[in-house]
Chain A
Amino acid sequence: MSRASKWGRVHLGFTYAFLYVPILVLVGLSFNESGLATSWGGFSTKWYGELGRNDDIQEGLRNTLIVAVGVTVLATIIGTLLAVGVSRHVHNPVIESAFVAPAVMPDIVLAVGLLMLFTAADFTLGLTSVLLSHTLFCTAFVTAVVRTRLQHVDESLEEAARDLGDSAVGAFVRVTLPSLAPGILAGALLAFTLSIDEFVIAFFTNGPTSPTLPQVIYSNVRFGVKPDINALAAVLLLVSMIIVLSAQRLARLTDSIGQQ
């Protein structure tokens, strides 16, 4: 092995350490019997047991799942239709790319704007307002993912289905949607993960009686990190890793179909 590549490996090792040590510390501490960040009290899974007995966390998890599932359904439907409609009927490049604004806008700007809007409209803040707000920015992400997929799909597919005797709706359902399926699924998974750990927008647009999981965690750690939050973070890490890996597998599938 040459000196250059040896040093390259050391460099790479340090960079990865920089990226992953905080996460490893978190996962390690979640198994720490003592519950203190400063001393190791032996291996234990008791904090994971604590999680199951913490009503605030249970409540937060339930709220978050309600929002995330609703957002996934709404954003996926709206985002898919938007992607298809824009690519077919909009020829103005500015309007064509305008859909992406909520995805690139700073969260805090979007959060404050939404809060003003809900207040102006006299809309009661609660899970519904969080759901609508998350749907807004998740739709942008779904649209972007489905549009990428659309660019890999032959534009003539739906016309071919029509030519073979299918109605407009039939051709859309039987040909267009299945050929976009990997993109739609990847978009849905993305929307779900984004909604689950979103904090800033939820913080501004939620009411006082229905905190989401990130809000519960925030209020818990304001006065020091409790060990069961470590366990919760480790669980969330596992869940989002599974989802991200599935989305990547779907993306690979997308590529292999796109290569015709």
Chain B
Amino acid sequence: MTDASTSVEPTTARSDTSDSPATESMPLLRMVGVMRRFGDVVALDDVDIDIVGNEFFSLLGPSGCGKTTLLRIIAGLDDPDGGTVTLDGDDLVAIPAHRRPVNLMFQSYALFPHLNVERNVAYGLQRERRPKAEIRTRVGEALETVGLDGLGKRRTNQLSGGQRQRVALARAIVKRPRILLLDEPLGALDKQIRIQMQQELKRLQHDVGITFVVVTHDQEEAMSMADRIAVLRDGRVEQIASPETLFERPATRFVAEFIGRTNMLEPADGRLFSLRPEQLRLLSAATAASPGARTVAATVRDIQFYGGVSHCTVQTDLSDPTASAVGAPPSIVVALIGSTVVRPGDDVVVSWQPQHEVEIQR
């Protein structure tokens, strides 16, 4: 990542070269050319992903992008039509779901309604025919890890949404899988609990030392938790990178627009650039821009205040020669810290440094 701040060389899609720890050591899980079709629909198209040990990895994409299908293939609940999936170099596809050292936390949690909390968590260990004493100890530990000690005898329908999620988590980690798969783990929770659980999942992953693979459609969730993220779209991998790289150096237009907000510049030469709202400055029409900066005249149209940050949408003055030279869009979003003194209708100048324009592959 040494060159990340200066170079504007295009990064290729599916590149995992720039900041992937996977290239340094043998990956724990390796997927090569994974294909999956449902009738005429291609759910996964030639997917290559490496996941290393102890990584918090996220599969991110809009609904229908194939992320859950990929998760189910790793879990063994679905089989790929082509490609290979290996765990520590051994073929994983040949192993049936119930013998894989991989556990899945279902989006619905899938808690067994006829069993209490304790027996839900003990289920996997009982199938391994562990001694009773060991099961009791490990179930106790798992419930403590997720902060549910003392609730072992409860019925699952007496628990809150957050507690049910913790039971599902305890049930999955108690078997000490090599990889824990989580399908939209925070999807069913309220926003407040969700933010708290993001931190807890991150801490938990660190404490138990299990590789986490989290499926989510929420880019903020993925960005805040994951070490690396694979962005999927229509069954294909768009880019695999750290959250920072995805944000600063998106490889495709889709990634640039899916991760955070962005402005796309389309100059006459046919190239395409992404320009983050956070890299833009708003100046009053009279102020001189800093040396080397590009400037475009604009009129403030709308301000959205989010508390810590405001998004100011301005209407570009397309008669400004710079605007057409850089290919500025008719409206530009500028991120401002805190609230702002500008008001709709104000004439302003948008300015940015040319090195913040990130070229995107067409």
Contact = CB atoms under 8 A, between A and B. Distances in A.
> For A153, A157, A257, A260, which residue has the most chain B Cβ atoms within 10 angstroms?
A260
A159 B114 contact: no
A122 interface: no
Contacts of B108: 154, 156
Contacts of A153: 113
B124 interface: yes
Contacts, number: 70
Nearest to A166: B127
B113 A160 contact: no
User: Interface size class for chain A?
Assistant: 20 to 34
B239 interface: no
5 contacts: A154-B109, A156-B110, A159-B97, A164-B171, A166-B127
Given A153-B113, A164-B124, A165-B127, 17 more contacts: A154-B111, A154-B113, A156-B106, A156-B107, A157-B110, A162-B98, A163-B97, A163-B103, A164-B98, A164-B127, A164-B175, A166-B123, A178-B114, A179-B112, A181-B114, A256-B157, A260-B111
Nearest to B183: A156
B110 A160 contact: yes
Interface of A: 153-154, 156-157, 159-167, 170, 175, 178-179, 181, 256-257, 259-260
Contacts of B75: 163
B128 interface: yes
B103 A164 contact: yes
User: Interface size class for chain B?
Assistant: 20 to 34
Interface of B: 75-77, 97-99, 103-104, 106-114, 123-124, 127-128, 156-157, 164, 171, 175
Contacts of B110: 154, 156-157, 159-160
Contact of A165 (B98, B107, B112): B98
A169 B113 CA distance: 19
A214 to B, nearest CB: 37
Nearest to A257: B113
